[in-house]
Structure 1
């Protein structure tokens, strides 16, 4: 039974004061808003905010995607003057990736009297920071399960908050992405007939549910057997929208030369194998745009540790029993999604969803927790957790390694290499995907507010191109709020139609990115301080590979990290010309005059 069902069914008690039924109801509304972003962009922490004055909801907001406007900012803006003296309900403590604390600032400026937080942020560099900042500003803060007691309605709401951000909780507590094992089997436990034929075990309704689940994940994993026998696509079957990375785990690289997964025009494919395996075939895959990652010794845990380093939050395993068994044994499977079809196929040799685990007694069987049941067409969907959710709460042993205006200069300078990737990482504000709007003159010299560095960079790819598709793409990039979605739109078109890229793109793309980074780090004092605090360290964008910057992780490529280090040195030499302050990059330095002049000439007709 879900938290919302429990609350509606009357099986929970309603108490007065902190943690009463009204508080719980508004927290559940915040969870609902937070979950609306499922599948729209790559998985990210889910934030929802509800502003209530008296018994009336006056403002709502939800984070629409990684790097988009904070939910709290949206809700306070909608509430307007009614926010003063009101109460805000947040499913998760704000986390602004060490930048300008936009969410907290919005709540304080809005004059909120009380904040009810469903759960503290699981990541150590955020946990407790926003709560302390709000309390220092004189705002009363109640945390569900701490200040609001336990049991009854508030416990149901707290559980809903935890489930909404389960991937984040697993990442924080296990240092791994949350892994879900999905399979469809017959009533007698078979995932295919004895011949290996498996189309289709489950119903069309169940398959649609799988597509929706894929869209909520960073990656989908299969083994070599699945590629050979099923030739899957592993896409969401959606036109546009987020497509997860597709990962094939194979020790020998014994894979077909032609397969649907080798078509990378709509989704990225990664083959993970052991060093030296079938080198010629690795070259063939690389020529098709498939990324190959080699391990000294491949295992499910090694793969998940690699996925963790890539910044993945959620991974869906759609493999057969030969791979699912070692994944379970390796402790990397956290959740099970089992579709049970009302069919019987029989067969002593017919494959089952989980291979040999070494158990000889039923008492050794692994038990699921938080189990739920629902119908998907004629099938039964059973969902449960192999590893329970961790309860992240602040105690005396927690080390709050926060980044804020006050302590940003105290960050350790002994770190030799600083990786950055997702905006919610410790140094996430360095990412091009963080929520920091920048003002850069448009190509006719008029100041334009871009939602992020990524928006400006992706739109610049098609500057001066009058093809209707390129013009439409630029408009879509400008219109989307999430930098991740802007990147998806721009990268998809440039991959499918390279002829639409501006002719000088390879020559000017680094200068385009540098101009955007200058505008960002000079417009936000806290970001400038963060960048300067990394003095003496190498900055590496923590991506395995990048089609534009090449070899980011190993530090060889001309990537964002290299550009940031150049900008850091430039700021240290200072002062920066006034024309570059506050994001208005009108007078470029160090040879950027050529870039902007060329840039404007290219798009003068658009």
Structure 2
């Protein structure tokens, strides 16, 4: 048992500052698992007894091993009964390689559970509901932002279906990553280079491109950190020009070489290869990240040169930037970042600097991209691309409406009163926001026309903000105005996807056609088959993992919104207007 930061004595409900200190300690413990728990999250747990004294601590140490709550309960022993558990992530509610932590906490006699972040994984979520059903006082959201930062890799994987990407670079104060002759050893100090090995030890994978392979012959393994799990070394080499004797191909750490589908790799005997299709001679960033995520990689340290960094930035796949700036000037030579598809200052990727510290003579700056402000409800549309799997935390019955409180740290990070957020495909107006949650009032008519009336505290929901003006349309145009509700008829799994059959209200059947678009619980999908009273959709693993459609069962209701263009065409035809040559107002 560790007690470096004891929590002050408290009665049944600790004072707010005591809760905060205990949770912050849990966050510190969680960080000890960085680099060793993937594909699982990092989690920390602190248990205090009934008087408020810390009696147990734990953290998730490795994938497949006991979870943080189990370590803390073992350390606490009988003293846990009647106490409080502070956990950085909502206790799990499923049996995987380990048992459900929610049940373990209840069995130990814990009286109160405080978690920082709700579990967005539909396969493991629901722990808070189980705890409340067992009569345990359960609260969420304490220090959620801090806990999310520490668990950014896993949360990015669950919410976005790809690994979290950190771009690391070293440059002079005038932004040069090498001299005019190409020399770059060494721009930064030994202290900065040692710090990079720490970043590698905390990452699942380290990635470079062909230019860095040819120029530097990098090794990329972790040095100076005893017991560290070596990251997967990934090299993008579309034509497989890497020599068989390259340093990255030794046995110091595992290596994955990513090449084009037709690359000649006969000289690379025994090397693990990933063949991906080329687009304009390049491997698509999203193709690569999707494959890595499916293989269990949750965090990637991008150490490639300016061209690779530009490609990732253009793809919107840089989640954190760490720059090591040396007190030196070169005046000429390659810049740290090459073309990222930005042609005007208005398109600049703005960053929020979260840390600036001295590393030897150098300056290490850490920053994260500032989210693009979404469009407001007056001119916003949705796309049916779910941004976040949220949770209903409370439902209050009003006189002519229901007030919903929902947790969604991503969609609320820049939301304000009057903004719109789609909840299971229903456009709702934000009343207030606080601590990663937002409140919306739902009128009785909307409850009657949608499946929102069936939601209760603990229900998982699909969340999406309106598309920003000028943003890229990922799905299809979605208004957030539900046309009716359907019902899951059946689910048929296959090797690569799952076919779901949905009952279709008769008044909507004329708008649903094979290969057409439909929105189901806020998810933009393509119709596979369509009949008079049903249709089928195909769900890929990413959709199953990142939306509520992965947990819907036969008989469950779903909100449906048909393609609005079909309704406009129908109206034009009813007015006797040829839609292909309409020029006037068909009202």
- Offset at residue 118 of structure 1 (A): 0.5
Alignment of structure 1 residues 480-519 onto 2, 5 Å: none
Q: Paired residue for 2:22, among 20, 23, 26?
A: 26
Aligned length: 380
Show the counterpart of 2:277.
295
Show the counterpart of 2:58.
61
Deviations 1:312-340 (A, max 9, x none): 11011101111111111011111111111
- Offset at residue 292 of structure 1 (A): 3.8
Q: Paired residue for 1:163, among 149, 154, 176?
A: 149
* 296 and 76 in structure 1: CA distance in 2 versus 1, 3 angstrom threshold: same
Q: Is 1:245 matched with 2:240? A: no
- Offset at residue 63 of structure 1 (A): 0.7
8 A Cα contact 2:60 2:66, kept in partner? yes
Q: Paired residue for 2:76, among 72, 75, 79?
A: 79
Q: Paired residue for 2:105, among 107, 126, 131?
A: 107
CA distance in 2: counterparts of 1:182 and 1:248, whole angstroms:
16
8 A Cα contact 1:126 1:400, kept in partner? no
Q: Is 1:351 matched with 2:334? A: yes
- Offset at residue 124 of structure 1 (A): 2.4
8 A Cα contact 1:43 1:216, kept in partner? no
CA distance in 1: counterparts of 2:370 and 2:70, whole angstroms:
35
CA distance in 1: counterparts of 2:277 and 2:76, whole angstroms:
52
8 A Cα contact 1:335 1:383, kept in partner? yes
Show the counterpart of 2:358.
375
Q: Paired residue for 1:330, among 295, 315, 336?
A: 315
Show the counterpart of 1:319.
304
Q: Is 1:304 matched with 2:289? A: yes
The structure whose residues are more often helix, as a share, is: 1
Q: Is 1:414 matched with 2:399? A: no
Show the counterpart of 1:142.
139
SS at match of 2:124: coil
CA distance in 2: counterparts of 1:360 and 1:242, whole angstroms:
41
CA distance in 1: counterparts of 2:339 and 2:34, whole angstroms:
34
CA distance in 2: counterparts of 1:242 and 1:43, whole angstroms:
13
- Offset at residue 103 of structure 1 (A): 1.5
SS at match of 1:85: coil
Show the counterpart of 1:117.
115
CA distance in 1: counterparts of 2:209 and 2:489, whole angstroms:
42
SS at match of 2:267: helix
- Offset at residue 304 of structure 1 (A): 0.9
CA distance in 1: counterparts of 2:311 and 2:111, whole angstroms:
52
Gaps of at least 5 residues in structure 1 are 1-15, 145-153, 402-409, 420-540, 543-606
Larger RCO, structure (CA 8 Å, separation 6 or more): 1
CA distance in 1: counterparts of 2:54 and 2:297, whole angstroms:
35
8 A Cα contact 2:35 2:229, kept in partner? yes
Show the counterpart of 2:200.
214
SS at match of 2:220: coil
CA distance in 2: counterparts of 1:355 and 1:17, whole angstroms:
54
* 115 and 354 in structure 1: CA distance in 2 versus 1, 3 angstrom threshold: same
Q: Paired residue for 1:235, among 217, 221, 224?
A: 221
The structure whose residues are more often strand, as a share, is: 2
- Offset at residue 125 of structure 1 (A): 2.2
RMSD: 2.9
Q: Is 1:255 matched with 2:242? A: yes
- Offset at residue 358 of structure 1 (A): 4.1
8 A Cα contact 2:389 2:460, kept in partner? no
SS at match of 2:109: coil
CA distance in 1: counterparts of 2:215 and 2:43, whole angstroms:
40
Show the counterpart of 2:209.
223
8 A Cα contact 2:93 2:130, kept in partner? no
- Offset at residue 166 of structure 1 (A): 0.8
SS at match of 1:36: helix
* 81 and 334 in structure 1: CA distance in 2 versus 1, 3 angstrom threshold: same
CA distance in 2: counterparts of 1:387 and 1:293, whole angstroms:
34
* 272 and 123 in structure 1: CA distance in 2 versus 1, 3 angstrom threshold: same
Show the counterpart of 2:482.
none
Show the counterpart of 2:430.
none
- Offset at residue 254 of structure 1 (A): 2.7
8 A Cα contact 1:373 1:381, kept in partner? yes
Show the counterpart of 2:437.
none
CA distance in 1: counterparts of 2:103 and 2:64, whole angstroms:
17
CA distance in 2: counterparts of 1:97 and 1:241, whole angstroms:
29
Q: Paired residue for 2:47, among 21, 45, 51?
A: 51
CA distance in 1: counterparts of 2:61 and 2:113, whole angstroms:
21
Show the counterpart of 1:198.
184
8 A Cα contact 1:120 1:392, kept in partner? no
- Offset at residue 191 of structure 1 (A): 0.8
CA distance in 2: counterparts of 1:137 and 1:381, whole angstroms:
48
* 122 and 273 in structure 1: CA distance in 2 versus 1, 3 angstrom threshold: same
8 A Cα contact 2:167 2:302, kept in partner? yes
CA distance in 2: counterparts of 1:367 and 1:57, whole angstroms:
42
CA distance in 2: counterparts of 1:42 and 1:117, whole angstroms:
21
CA distance in 1: counterparts of 2:348 and 2:361, whole angstroms:
28
Show the counterpart of 1:172.
158
